[in-house]
Amino acid sequence: MYTVSEVARMSGVTVRTLHHYDEIGLLPPAHIGENRYRYYGREELLRLQQILLHRALGLPLEEISAILDDPDFDRVATLQKHRRKLQTEAEHYADLIRTIDRTIADLKGDDVMSDMDLYSGLVPAEKQAEYEAWLVEKYGPDMAEDIKRSKQVMADWTKGDMEAAMKQLAIAEQGLANAMDRGISAEDSANDPLIEIHRAWVARMWDKPCPPQAYAGLADMYLSHPDFEARYESIAKGFTTYLTDAMKAWAERQG
Amino acid sequence: MYTVSEVARMSGVTVRTLHHYDEIGLLPPAHIGENRYRYYGREELLRLQQILLHRALGLPLEEISAILDDPDFDRVATLQKHRRKLQTEAEHYADLIRTIDRTIADLKGDDVMSDMDLYSGLVPAEKQAEYEAWLVEKYGPDMAEDIKRSKQVMADWTKGDMEAAMKQLAIAEQGLANAMDRGISAEDSANDPLIEIHRAWVARMWDKPCPPQAYAGLADMYLSHPDFEARYESIAKGFTTYLTDAMKAWAERQG
DNA sequence: GTTGACCCTCACGCGACGTGAGCAACTATC
DNA sequence: GATAGTTGCTCACGTCGCGTGAGGGTCAAC
């Protein structure tokens, strides 16, 4: 039998949290002494673990209660539902990152965003649909058609293989940015397998092999084109030159 | 000049939110009419976008206020910082999704997760530091050192390494639990090669050999630490004492 | 002048606890 | 067995970012 503070120490929650969980009936103590002290047993520790797991997954306490108290409750289905929620959240983050990239470009004058596009990714999809419906009303169906079609193209563009490819690219870029943060030189990073991953991504985008010379040429293009610079600088300050240095060092070593 | 509902439609926030942002001084309208209506301009739309970006990162509104009102505020730099934060957030979501996948697999009986794995990436760093400090106090610096190092070792592991290790552990634990179910005594199970497998797993986690004495000491820790107890009891009722008895019997027989 | 969409200001509600306040009870030491 | 320090308890209000009415003024159109 453990007291509140003991359980708190073991599980990492606060005493108040245990009080709260008792209050709402989520985790009543095994016994309550004549002094009104709460005492918890092994059974309660296990239940607390379950609670914390589900809480960590973002489920509200009420739902956790339902899951743990109903033996017939379909945990798998609940978790899958929650997984889908998380997935859309994750995609939402990807949208946000793209919006930030475009915003940075906009602030640098490389791109012009309409008032509406400013909010892309920040706005729930249904709200955007509402807005589009409102546009149809205001400007007539022709203008709305243009807007709609451009979005359709973008939707096709980001789905499927593209998403996987973007993930691959993000892994390579983020990893190399981390290497830069850790003080590893660009020349050393040229040996990092992430460079190979990056080159493989390029080849995949081009749909043809990317030999060392072409890879070095691409580095130059990154340097001379502001869009690319904006993109790489948004990952980390100085990352443009870092990446291109590593790319060129790699190419030199190959041939 | 846009009214509240127009801004709301464009930005996706509610009218109430705009009221709220005015109330707390985060986004005052450009002008207020004689009828007390709020009117917003392009400037305010830009500021709102900044607010939404920061809010999406989980920053409290008060902090957003401070950031945006600072005249030294560099939008591009801030956005770049945010981008990186978003990326780690996105990775956190990916972690959560993986954890859920594994939990689902676990519930379906396809996989066995250790508690440590269960909470992987979900426990705040400071809590873990607290917990480790407490471990030092309770078990002495030696054991805590092992635990700490094992975490470090595990951090370097690939997903495949981890899965292999977890499988190894699961095989040993499940096998011994089955032995217990079949009525085989703990003393007899001490001769089971599964005990050797379990000890090898421990050595692998600690990244150093686990001599009989240390193995017996570990058994005592399992017994005295409720977290471990909870974990083993979740495999089978009474498995904690069964396993520790077998571990100790094995250790005695060795030396 | 009436309708209906829009605007306003209170002001309470929520979810998951944090944070005292004020008091009882246990533990350790002198 | 007195005392001090820790730990426990129960209220009960505070937090954050709004949602959700209630109750009432304003505006454009018919």
pLDDT in tens, chain A (255 residues): 889 998 888 788 899 999 999 999 999 999 999 999 999 987 888 788 788 878 877 788 998 998 888 866 666 676 676 677 777 677 767 776 776 776 666 666 554 444 445 455 544 444 444 444 444 444 444 434 433 433 333 344 333 444 554 556 777 787 788 888 878 888 888 887 778 778 777 766 565 667 778 788 778 767 765 556 666 776 777 888 999 999 988 888 877
CA distance B180 to chain A (A): 21
Residue B130 CA: distances (Å) to CA of A4, A23, B126, B245: 17, 26, 6, 30
CB of A10 within 8 Å of a chain B CB? The answer is yes
CA distance B42 to chain A (A): 8
Q: Please tell me whether any atom of strand C lies within 7 Å of the Cβ of A62.
A: yes
| Closest residue of chain B to A105, computed from CA coordinates | B76
Using DSSP, state whether B38 is helix, strand or coil.
Answer: strand
What pLDDT does B154 receive? 54
Q: Which domains does chain A have, with CATH numbers?
A: 4-69 (1.10.1660.10), 94-152 (no CATH), 161-254 (1.10.490.50)
What pLDDT does A196 receive? 79
| pLDDT interval class at B26 (50, 70, 90) | very high
More confident residue, B210 or B164: B210
Residue B155 has pLDDT above 70, yes or no: no
Q: What is the mean pLDDT of residues B13-29?
A: 94
Using DSSP, state whether B191 is helix, strand or coil.
Answer: coil
More confident residue, A224 or B188: B188
What pLDDT does A251 receive? 86
Q: What is the rounded CA–CA span in Å between residue A41 and residue B232?
A: 15
- Cβ neighbors of A223 (< 8 A, separation 6 or more) are A229, A240, A241, A244
Q: Please tell me whether any atom of strand C lies within 7 Å of the Cβ of B47.
A: no
CB of B187 within 8 Å of a chain A CB? The answer is no
What pLDDT does B59 receive? 75
Task: Tell which phi-psi region holds residue B114, choosing left (phi > 0), alpha (psi between -120 and 50) or beta.
Answer: beta
In the Cβ-directed half-sphere of B190, how many Cα atoms lie within 13 Å? 20
How far does the CA of A35 sit from the C1' of D3, in Å?
22
Taking the CB of residue A122, how many other CB atoms lie within 10 A of it? 23
B213-237 pLDDT, tens digit each:
778 877 877 776 666 676 677 677 7
In this prediction, what percent of chain B has a pLDDT beyond 90? 16
In the Cβ-directed half-sphere of B89, how many Cα atoms lie within 13 Å? 20
How far does the CA of A33 sit from the C1' of D12, in Å?
24
What pLDDT does B37 receive? 96
Mean pLDDT for all residues in chain B: 73
What pLDDT does A112 receive? 42
CB B16 within 8 A of CB B27: no
What pLDDT does A168 receive? 60
B27-42 pLDDT, tens digit each:
999 999 999 999 999 8
CA B22 to chain centre: 37
Residue A49 CA: distances (Å) to CA of A1, A195, B200: 16, 42, 27
Q: What is the rounded CA–CA span in Å between residue A177 and residue A73?
A: 45
Contact B229 A42 (CB under 8 A): yes
CB of B79 within 8 Å of a chain A CB? The answer is yes
CB of A172 within 8 Å of a chain B CB? The answer is no
The enclosing H or E element of A31 equals strand A31-32
Provide the β-strand partners of residue A31.
Answer: A39
| Closest residue of chain A to B127, computed from CA coordinates | A12
- Identify the CA nearest to B176 among candidates B212, B219, B224, B143: B219
B91-135 pLDDT, tens digit each:
767 766 776 776 666 666 544 444 334 434 444 433 444 444 444
Protein-covered nucleotides of chain D (CB closer than 7 Å) are 7-10, 16-20, 25-27
Question: What is the b/e burial string over B24-33, where b = at least 16 CB atoms within 10 angstroms of the residue's CB?
Answer: eebbebeeee
Contact A128 B12 (CB under 8 A): yes
What pLDDT does B213 receive? 79
CA quadruple A239, A241, A242, A244: dihedral positive or negative?
positive
- Can you give B219-253 as a three-state secondary structure string? HHHHHHCHHHHHHHHHHCCCHHHHHHHHHHHHHHH
The residue whose CA lies nearest the C1' of nucleotide D25 is: B35
CB of B84 within 8 Å of a chain A CB? The answer is yes
Residue from the list A79, A96, A108 with its beta carbon closest to the beta carbon of B104 = A79
Provide the β-strand partners of residue B2.
Answer: B40
CB B199 within 8 A of CB B210: yes
Prediction ipTM score: 0.48
Nearest nucleotide to A34 by CA–C1' distance?
C25
DSSP state of B53: H
Residue B141 has pLDDT above 60, yes or no: no
Among the ranges given (A130-134, A143-147, B5-9, B176-180), the one the predictor scored with the smallest mean pLDDT: A143-147
- Can you give A92-104 as a three-state secondary structure string? HHHHHHHHHHHHH
Q: What is the rounded CA–CA span in Å between residue B133 and residue B154?
A: 20
Q: What is the rounded CA–CA span in Å between residue A52 and residue B125?
A: 16
Q: Please tell me whether any atom of strand D lies within 7 Å of the Cβ of B185.
A: no
What pLDDT does B4 receive? 95
Percentages of chain A per state (helix, strand, coil), in multiples of 5: 75, 0, 25
Nearest nucleotide to B24 by CA–C1' distance?
D17
Burial bucket for residue B129 (CB in 10 Å: 0-12, 13-18, 19+): exposed
Among the ranges given (A11-25, B81-95, B136-150), the one the predictor scored with the smallest mean pLDDT: B136-150
What pLDDT does B34 receive? 92
In the Cβ-directed half-sphere of A110, how many Cα atoms lie within 13 Å? 13
CA A239 to chain centre: 21
Bridge pairing between strands B38-39 and B31-32: antiparallel
More confident residue, B216 or B171: B216
Residue from the list A57, A104, A115 with its beta carbon closest to the beta carbon of B10 = A115
How far does the CA of B35 sit from the C1' of D25, in Å?
9
